Amino acid sequence: NAGVTQTPKFQVLKTGQSMTLQCAQDMNHNSMYWYRQDPGMGLRLIYYSASEGTTDKGEVPNGYNVSRLNKREFSLRLESAAPSQTSVYFCASSGAVLGTEAFFGQGTRLTVV
């Protein structure tokens, strides 16, 4: 049972480069999320997708784009990376049942130099 799988685990980018973080879940969840985690700032929501075919901005969407490719996959793209995007990124998914928990991927540690 893989749960939520994120790739890559680590990445170093130069300023201006682009990259896509991949996320897939095998729990048939409707909702998927992308967060960034920074020291002292907790988890901040970048984008989320309540269901296949829909995406919405979270708290800190600037500089990012997302694609909900199908029910399983939700990717995050940095078009032109900036040092301020150095962070740990987590993908998560949850079902639609009351009390259901969110399941997280193992995180991507991104450094932009």
Residues forming the site for another protein (CB under 8 A):
31, 33, 40-43, 45, 48, 50, 56, 58, 90, 92, 94, 96, 98-99, 101-102, 104-107
Pick between residue 12 and residue 41 the one whose CB is nearest to another protein. 41
CA dist., res. 100 & res. 69, Å (int): 23
Q: Which of 44, 45, 112, 49 is nearest to 75 (CA)?
A: 49
Q: Which is nearer to another protein, 47 or 75 (CB)?
A: 47
Query: Cβ of residue 91: shortest distance to another protein, in angstroms?
Result: 10
Min separation Cβ 18 and another protein, Å: 25
**Residue number, 82 or 96, with CB nearest to another protein:** 96
Cα separation, 88 vs 94, in Å, equals: 20
Alpha-carbon distance of 51 to 85, in angstroms, equals: 26
